[in-house]
Amino acid sequence: MKKSLLTKALLTFSVIGTVFAFSNTVKAADNYELVWSDEFNGNSLDTNTWNYEIGTGSWGWGNNEQQYYTDRNIRVSNGTMKITAKREDYGRMKYTSSRITTKNKKNFKYGKIEARIKMPKFKGVWPAFWMLGANQDSVGWPKCGEIDIMEAINDENLVYGTLHWFNDPGNNNADSGSSVAVADRTEYHVYGVEWTADKLRWYVDGKVYRTMDVSNDSFSEVRKEYFVIFNMAIGGQWPGYNIDETAFPATMEVDWVRAYKKVEETTTKYTGPMITVTEDAVETCSGKWGSYFGSDWAGASGTLKSTDKAVTGATMNITSIGNSQWGVQQYLKGLHYYPGRTYNYSFTMKSDVNKRVFVKVAGDGDEEIFGEYIDLKAGVPYNFSRQVTLAKDMEGVLDLYFGMGKCDGDAAATNSAANITLSNVSFKTTTQIPDPNYNNGESTTNKTTLPSEEKTTTNNGVTTTNNGVTTTGNGVTTTSKVVVSRPGKVSVKKVVRSKNNRNIKINIKKVKGVTGYQIKYSINKKLKKAKTVTTKSVKKTLKKLKKKTYYIQVRAYVVKSGNVKVTGDWSKIKKVKVRK
């Protein structure tokens, strides 16, 4: 829906010229099951599912749209949801309409999303059925990603399907889409998208008109949760401002909207023993605290005094906090974690001046998982303790950040000095996972690190005592304190530049017993905004690299029983010249 400053002519659309006489029915594929729907069978909109968005948004919702959205231009009756656009003066605008979303109420990731819709057709109208990334508020557009399932404009019989994503390192919106002609858009058609981690397939009435490969790391936005939006705009950059005043009132009608998930193939359920693991991600992190001072853009300066162990923290000697929160940063990157678990995050921080600091836990693309301001009093230790829950489907990096520059509401003056000490840092969880040493009914838990004292094993009437964890299998109950082994550290063995100066071949030093390797690369020497690829081989080619110099890290991972992924430490950063 959001087109930024682009026009239809600038988008990469390929029009399918044939007008299909599509059927008005569509059958869900045998390998999909319905997980949610709104059939609009009531007499009002279900506000447990939907939100009304009111007003004109920022610059006409980013598109210079000419309508004012209200909650009175929408109704549910006779089994359909109706959005009606009207010609009326309201809120300094000449038109009214409606826009609804499932934001913060219903999010979706992968599967099929489809709706049965009929819509008006006249100059200036812009109906849409689309999705935005659920992390929109924390990362903004286009970093959140946008999947336009169906858009139509003016009096065309064309409908459009488009993906918007963040073009890094271009630092702007990128988009790609196609259009298809339908027999008559004022009649009902089923518009949908089939969505996997690797592909997007847009279809009308079950017939696919566009397939897009999104397996590249550039499309990381696609592998997040999204929420659904219906709206009907009037005017704007794309449809233009030649609006047919005689067409009002005009109604977009939705019979139903449905979400399906793919039925996975039957897999063998893990029935082996479980172990309890207590792990402090800061204590096990091999990295050190780092710092950033935005001297050129924020006027910030200073130094970091760190120790060899991350848990003991570091001291920031800030000579100027500058004029921006993120002008001064302290960070610890590459923490090992278990998705879906709740962590206890704690530390002690002390400042020699009254100072506000922003505490952030971040994932891929610096996406905020947790964020909170704390206010330090001069000379008084601040003992911080919070619980942070990670998403069950979380992938990629986990980093800790502190924004120590000039924050909103900061007691410290712009460009003033501060000495801030961080200590006793912990990011800890206790959780049960499948025994990583259990294989085909046999447990080799005794190969992991066990204390020599306090062991308890019960078998055939013989009992010994131990401490910590209970596992049960084959009639034998074993309780033991277990430390799960992680893959050994790897290194980049060799990097070869291709003749065309755009590809590099990476050879990784082999580690026995691992499932594969993750490669992280960036044009930034601190690997900010790095892209990550996975390979099961010790050789990997990175293709179509556009910049002269890249920085690379690798690490090994093992997929244990129960699909638990355990990663090793990142290697040292290696600098690679792609072009002479």
C-beta of residue 358 within 8 angstroms of C-beta of residue 331: no
Over residues 40-45, the mean pLDDT reads 95
Flag whether 97 is in a domain.
yes
Last residue of a domain, one of 228, 262, 296: 262
CATH number of residue 209's parent domain: 2.60.120.200
CATH number of residue 528's parent domain: 2.60.40.10
Instruction: Give yes or no for residue 41 having a pLDDT over 90.
Output: yes
Flag whether 283 is in a domain.
yes
Last residue of a domain, one of 418, 433, 448: 433
Percentage of residues of the chain with pLDDT beyond 70? 80
Q: Are residues 186 and 145 in the same domain?
A: yes
Q: Are residues 110 and 250 in the same domain?
A: yes
Q: Are residues 101 and 217 in the same domain?
A: yes
Q: Are residues 255 and 285 in the same domain?
A: no
- The pLDDT-based confidence of 301 (bands split at 50, 70, 90) is very high
C-beta of residue 416 within 8 angstroms of C-beta of residue 302: no
Q: Which of the residue ranges 284-288, 408-412, 561-565 would you say has the lowest mean pLDDT?
A: 561-565
| Type of residue found at 186 | T
- For residue 4, what pLDDT is reported? 45
C-beta of residue 493 within 8 angstroms of C-beta of residue 505: no
Q: Are residues 372 and 223 in the same domain?
A: no
The catalytic residues are 146, 151
Flag whether 470 is in a domain.
no
C-beta of residue 252 within 8 angstroms of C-beta of residue 283: no
Q: What does the DSSP assignment read for 388-421?
A: EEPPTT--S--EEEEE-S--TT-SSPTT--EEEE
Cis peptide before 249 (omega within 30 of 0): yes
CA 159, 161, 165 angle in degrees (round to 5)? Answer: 150
Q: Are residues 255 and 186 in the same domain?
A: yes
Placement of tokens 């390192």 in the chain: 169
Flag whether 438 is in a domain.
no
Query: What average pLDDT does the chain have?
Result: 81
Flag whether 451 is in a domain.
no
- For residue 414, what pLDDT is reported? 95
- The pLDDT-based confidence of 364 (bands split at 50, 70, 90) is low
Higher pLDDT, 565 or 515: 515
Over residues 105-126, the mean pLDDT reads 96
- For residue 377, what pLDDT is reported? 97
pLDDT in tens, 141-158: 888 899 999 999 999 989
Q: Are residues 391 and 303 in the same domain?
A: yes
CATH number of residue 283's parent domain: 2.60.120.260
Q: Domain count of the chain?
A: 3
- For residue 11, what pLDDT is reported? 41
- For residue 266, what pLDDT is reported? 52
Flag whether 17 is in a domain.
no
Q: Are residues 194 and 99 in the same domain?
A: yes
Beta bridge partners of 303: 317
pLDDT in tens, 454-499: 333 323 333 233 333 333 333 333 333 333 345 666 777 777 776 6
Q: If you compute the radius of gyration of the chain from its CA atoms, what whole number of angstroms results?
A: 28
Q: Which of the residue ranges 75-84, 94-103, 307-316, 426-435 would you say has the lowest mean pLDDT?
A: 307-316
- Can you give the residue range of the structural domain that contains 513? 492-577
- Burial bucket for residue 265 (CB in 10 Å: 0-12, 13-18, 19+): exposed
409: Cβ contacts below 8 Å, ≥ 6 apart = 356, 373
C-beta of residue 350 within 8 angstroms of C-beta of residue 426: no
Flag whether 366 is in a domain.
yes
Q: Are residues 85 and 51 in the same domain?
A: yes
Q: What is the pTM of this model?
A: 0.50
Which three-class secondary structure string do you get for 67-128? Answer: EEECCCCEEEECCEEEEEEEEEEECCEEEEECEEECCCCCCECCEEEEEEEECCCCCCEEEE
- For residue 295, what pLDDT is reported? 92
Higher pLDDT, 10 or 382: 382
Flag whether 465 is in a domain.
no
Higher pLDDT, 518 or 528: 518
Over residues 55-82, the mean pLDDT reads 93
Percentage of residues of the chain with pLDDT beyond 90? 46
Q: Are residues 120 and 228 in the same domain?
A: yes
pLDDT in tens, 190-215: 999 999 988 999 999 988 988 898 88
Last residue of a domain, one of 233, 262, 291: 262
Q: Are residues 58 and 141 in the same domain?
A: yes
Count the neighbouring beta carbons within 10 Å of the beta carbon of residue 44: 10
- For residue 284, what pLDDT is reported? 86
Q: Which of the residue ranges 48-52, 151-155, 175-179, 327-331 would you say has the lowest mean pLDDT?
A: 175-179
Q: Are residues 38 and 153 in the same domain?
A: yes
| Type of residue found at 412 | A
Instruction: Give yes or no for residue 566 having a pLDDT over 50.
Output: yes
Q: What does the DSSP assignment read for 492-530?
A: EEEEEE-TTSS-EEEEE---TT-SEEEEEEESSTT-TT-
pLDDT in tens, 307-362: 767 778 899 999 999 999 999 999 998 888 888 899 999 999 999 999 999 999 98
- Biggest CA pair distance of the chain: 90
Instruction: Give yes or no for residue 160 having a pLDDT over 90.
Output: yes
Instruction: Give yes or no for residue 14 having a pLDDT over 60.
Output: no
Count the neighbouring beta carbons within 10 Å of the beta carbon of residue 91: 12
Instruction: Give yes or no for residue 60 having a pLDDT over 60.
Output: yes
